[in-house]
Amino acid sequence: MNELKKIKNALISVYYKDNLESVIQQLNTLGVKIYSTGGTQDFIEMLGVAVTPVESLTSYPSILGGRVKTLHPKVFGGILSRRELQSDVEQMEEYEIPEIDLVIVDLYPFEETVKSGGSEDDIIEKIDIGGISLIRAAAKNFKDVVIVSSKKEYNFLLEKILIAQKGASALQDRKMLAVRAFDTSSHYDVAIFKHFDTAENVFKQSIQQSAILRYGENPHQKGVFYGNLEEMFTKLNGKELSYNNLLDVDAAVSLIAEFKETTFAILKHNNACGIASRPKLVDAWKDALAGDPTSAFGGVLITNKKVDVESTEEINKLFFEVIIAPSYDDKALEILKAKPNRIILIQKEVILPSKSFRTLLNGVIEQDKDMQTETVSDMQTVTKVSPTADEQRDLEFANKIVKHTKSNTIVLAKNNQLLASGVGQTSRVDALEQAIAKANKFGFNLKGAVMASDAFFPFPDCVEIAHTAGVTAVIQPGGSIKDKDSVAYCDANGMSMTMTGTRHFKH
């Protein structure tokens, strides 16, 4: 499968000649026939290496001021022919087209011309046509062709393929170079798009489907969703999703994915204000709502189980914007649809992207999504007292919630129920005190509760405050130079602490 293919013919046409000499000399040593154009042809001839002009192959000179040089069936046929397909082989022989096994091409400096303040005519002339076409053709046919789309790849070509493998290429190398070539071509096209369409969102170039939203975060802001929501949900009722609805729906979908047991969650401003896991759905709903019945008003609801009539009769007492579930009883739907603006979604089984993107300054940042979820087996007890089985269960539950809550955050939980959380605070102590105040406000007894933190405790003050409030077990990633101080406080006061080694910041 990874059979080496010998390079017999090469097409070279580049704007930049830097570091090309060694490649040319090695190709010549290996007896590879070189085809070239214009300035590249002159450069190769100056090295004393034999080169065949492309026009002798096509029988056409470079025309239209150099705009058309390589766009010809004898060039693209040589690149795109499938060596194993008999009909292609016969046509190649009939039209006397040589197989081109290596294409070295770069692109006109479009971005550099824009940055240097070039005129509009100069910029347009630096939109490459032949080069981009050659790159795509060679990358498409990576099964047989080596594509080098940038001088950054010269060293790999020279050292690995031309020297180490004596001018023969392996499929894995050709495919790798093709991927890099497609990256080169896509970046080039995006640069052109952004220059001529500067008012549009940076993501639009890669996503064709879009939906106009009622507005953005606020009524004076325009909003557009680029993507296909129909792949994610079946919408059964209600008005169109707003920008803010979508943010909450995204947060809700990510959170509920953490739970296999029957779970109900209520989200507001991307954070869970209530969540509980129970054997019966109606009980999960009631205990989720109890976590913060004030914030639940106007929230987004989500569950991982079929919504039944008993639960719906309780849910229907609350005003909410959106409900998401895998399915609904017919009678439950009838009740929910009584309010025409209420958005009812069926969540489909879809594998979500593993990367996340965000616009920032004059660009975009990318990262892997936080896919790490700790279980009991990932908890390392660092105190003299170990958490009980019930505490371990609650620590795992709380740690799942803390992962999906804005930093700095503290989550307090007991019996698979969110009692309260402190979210988005600039101090971890503030987050804890906010959580305790909320739990007290809604009548929760924190005795025997657990505490989860999205990052380490720099000082023992948090465990001291939590202990005073009744918390008996703590989960945190660890990693502070003063971890021992927090552990020492727990040991002195009969608390258990586990560390996971994984931080869950969410900004």
User: pLDDT (tens digit, 9 = 90+) per residue, 262-282?
Assistant: 999 999 999 999 999 999 999
> Rounded to an integer, what distance in angstroms lies between the CA atom of residue 475 and that of residue 449?
12
What distance lies between CA 364 and its chain's CA centroid? 11
Distances (CA, A) of 157 to 17, 20, 24, 136: 15, 11, 11, 18
pLDDT greater than 70 at residue 2: no
Q: Is 467 a catalytic residue?
A: no
For residue 474, the model assigns a pLDDT of: 98
pLDDT greater than 60 at residue 258: yes
- ∠ Cα 204 183 174 (to 5°): 150
Query: Are 28 and 49 within 8 A, CB to CB?
Result: yes
Mean pLDDT, residues 101-109: 88
- In this prediction, residue 59 has a pLDDT band, given cuts at 50, 70 and 90, of confident
> Rounded to an integer, what distance in angstroms lies between the CA atom of residue 392 and that of residue 452?
11
Dihedrals phi, psi of 71, to nearest 5 degrees: -75, 85
Alpha helices (H) along 19-129: 21-29, 38-46, 54-58, 73-80, 86-94, 110-115, 120-125
- ∠ Cα 288 241 275 (to 5°): 10
The residue type of 429 is V
Using CB atoms within 10 A of its CB, is residue 115 exposed (0-12), middle (13-18) or buried (19+)?
Answer: exposed
**Where does the chain hold its CATH 3.40.140.20 domain(s)?**
214-347, 381-499
What rounded mean pLDDT belongs to the chain? Answer: 91
- In this prediction, residue 371 has a pLDDT band, given cuts at 50, 70 and 90, of very high
For residue 208, the model assigns a pLDDT of: 55
pLDDT greater than 80 at residue 210: no
The residue from 151, 269, 286, 337 that is catalytic is 269
- In this prediction, residue 74 has a pLDDT band, given cuts at 50, 70 and 90, of confident
* CATH of segment(s) 5-196: 3.40.50.1380
> Rounded to an integer, what distance in angstroms lies between the CA atom of residue 38 and that of residue 307?
70
> Rounded to an integer, what distance in angstroms lies between the CA atom of residue 257 and that of residue 171?
39
Query: Are 455 and 478 within 8 A, CB to CB?
Result: no
pLDDT greater than 60 at residue 207: no
Furthest-apart CA atoms within the chain: distance in Å: 90
Query: Are 37 and 60 within 8 A, CB to CB?
Result: no
Mean pLDDT, residues 171-175: 92
For residue 117, the model assigns a pLDDT of: 86
**Where does the chain hold its CATH 3.40.50.1380 domain(s)?**
5-196
Token representation of residue 11: 């097409």
For residue 347, the model assigns a pLDDT of: 96
For residue 202, the model assigns a pLDDT of: 44
412 CB-near residues (< 8 Å, 6+ apart): 398, 418, 419, 420, 421, 435, 436, 439, 446, 449, 450, 451, 471
For residue 128, the model assigns a pLDDT of: 78
| Model pLDDT for residues 218-242, shown as the tens digit of each residue | 999 999 888 888 889 999 999 999 9
> Which of 85-89, 189-193, 268-272, 275-279 has the lowest average pLDDT?
189-193
41 CB-near residues (< 8 Å, 6+ apart): 51, 53
The CATH class given to the 381-499 domain equals: alpha beta
Residues paired with 355 in a beta bridge: 368
pLDDT greater than 90 at residue 333: yes
The residue type of 137 is A
Token representation of residue 288: 């989720």
Query: Are 503 and 455 within 8 A, CB to CB?
Result: yes
Cis status, amide bond into 399, omega within 30 of 0: no
User: HEC states along 360-382?
Assistant: ECCEEEEEECCCCCCCHHHCEEC
> Rounded to an integer, what distance in angstroms lies between the CA atom of residue 254 and that of residue 288?
17
For residue 104, the model assigns a pLDDT of: 93
* Eight-class DSSP state of 161: I
Most confident region among 119-133, 180-194, 350-364, 446-460 by mean pLDDT: 446-460
Query: Are 357 and 365 within 8 A, CB to CB?
Result: yes
For residue 389, the model assigns a pLDDT of: 97
Query: Are 422 and 433 within 8 A, CB to CB?
Result: yes
Q: Is 317 a catalytic residue?
A: no
pLDDT greater than 80 at residue 498: yes
* CATH of segment(s) 214-347: 3.40.140.20
For residue 451, the model assigns a pLDDT of: 98
Higher-confidence position of 284 and 197:
284
pLDDT greater than 60 at residue 1: no
Question: Alpha-carbon dihedral of residues 234, 237, 238, 241, nearest 10 degrees?
Answer: 0
The residue from 33, 140, 195, 339 that is catalytic is 140
Alpha helices (H) along 170-280: 171-196, 243-256
> Which of 46-50, 80-84, 148-152, 194-198 has the lowest average pLDDT?
194-198
Percent of the chain with pLDDT over 70: 97
> Rounded to an integer, what distance in angstroms lies between the CA atom of residue 107 and that of residue 132?
7
CB atoms within 10 A of CB 349: 6
Percent of the chain with pLDDT over 90: 66
* Eight-class DSSP state of 100: P
**Helix, strand, coil percent content, the chain, rounded in steps of 5:** 40, 20, 40
- ∠ Cα 466 287 334 (to 5°): 155
CB atoms within 10 A of CB 403: 23
